[in-house]
Amino acid sequence: MKKTQIGIIGLGLMGGSFSLALKESSDAYYFVGLDHNQNHCKEALALGLVDEIVESIDEISHCDIIILTIPVDGIIAVSKALKGLKSHCTVIDFGSTKEKISASIPEEIRENFVTAHPMTGTEKFGPSAALRDLYEEKVVVLCDLEKSGKVQQEVAKKLFSDIKMKLVFMGAAEHDRHAAFISHMPHALSYSLANAVMKQEASTSIVALAGGGFKDMSRIAKSSPKMWEDIFRQNKSNLLEAVNVFQSELKKCQKMVENEEWENLNAWMKEANTLHDIL
């Protein structure tokens, strides 16, 4: 039986992990890889993340399914470069912002596209960072699904269900506002925390005194600056709103400490504790 060809553009953590997860679920796929980083191409082939490497978008356009796991600006550029797609071809982007991507896809291939955001990841990148269980039991948000063709909708839902993801559906604009508060603003916070500490503390003190809390909060500051610059740019207005809301809460804390309002501070902390009743 002929295998379904899946082209993956971007052979790092997300693309590599997706390949590994699908290989666990079925042997019905043949994986074709494309990445501008030649070392990533060699590594992905050696690790068995893909079965073949190609050198151009034209060579990957013939695939039955195309997965875009590249920075969000790159997703828009690739969408404009994809030509001659089969009517049944399904293109799925994994970008962390959705509204600008959804609006930028050329009309002639809009039905081929499914705009998705798997809510998972680590601070590591590159093919060697790929994990078989990265997507398992995690949420994937499928946005503006009514703009995708019926075949493409079903293909995307099956792929994500096969790797044990939880499917959530919403509009792209709604997604971007939620993502700004839950994902993008925490990254801005982590980068700020890392820079603030490094500007005040010697490296020896950081190594000696940094405990689990600091490591947890600063961990995502190791994430790719190129990727997150693009995300911040595309989701600028929502991110700024989220940062302003965070700054307001931080100022509340500052004033309560300055004024020694310890009971109010304690109540404010208890309110924050309730977040983990939800998570």
- Give backbone dihedrals phi and psi of 70, rounded to 5 degrees, phi first: -130, 170
Per CATH, the number for 175-278 is 1.10.3660.10
Per CATH, the number for 4-170 is 3.40.50.720
Window from 80-84, 252-256, 274-278 with minimum mean pLDDT: 274-278
Predicted pLDDT at 197: 85
Predicted pLDDT at 188: 95
CATH topology of 4-170 equal to that of 175-278?
Answer: no
Within 52-165, strands assigned E span 52-53, 65-68, 90-93, 113-118, 139-143
Residues sharing a CB contact under 8 Å with residue 146, sequence separation 6 or more, in sequence order: none
Give 6-23 pLDDT, tens digit per residue: 999 999 999 999 999 999
Confidence of residue 56 (pLDDT cuts 50, 70, 90): very high
- Please give the mean pLDDT across all residues of the chain: 92
Confidence of residue 181 (pLDDT cuts 50, 70, 90): very high
Predicted pLDDT at 208: 65
Predicted pLDDT at 74: 94
Within the chain, strands assigned E span 4-9, 29-34, 52-53, 65-68, 90-93, 113-118, 139-143, 166-170
Predicted pLDDT at 167: 98
Predicted pLDDT at 218: 81
**What's the rounded Cα separation, in Å, for the pair 12 and 130?**
7
Predicted pLDDT at 184: 95
Query: How is the beta sheet containing 52-53 ordered, strand by strand?
Result: 52-53, 29-34, 4-9, 65-68, 90-93, 113-118, 139-143, 166-170
**What's the rounded Cα separation, in Å, for the pair 105 and 79?**
6
Predicted pLDDT at 207: 64
**What's the rounded Cα separation, in Å, for the pair 261 and 250?**
15
Q: Where are the domains of the chain?
A: 4-170, 175-278
- For the whole model, what pTM was predicted? 0.87
Predicted pLDDT at 172: 96
Query: Is the pLDDT at 161 greater than 80, yes or no?
Result: yes
Predicted pLDDT at 183: 92
Query: Is the pLDDT at 134 greater than 80, yes or no?
Result: yes
Window from 76-80, 83-87, 236-240 with minimum mean pLDDT: 83-87
Give 102-123 pLDDT, tens digit per residue: 999 999 999 999 999 999 988 7
Predicted pLDDT at 227: 86
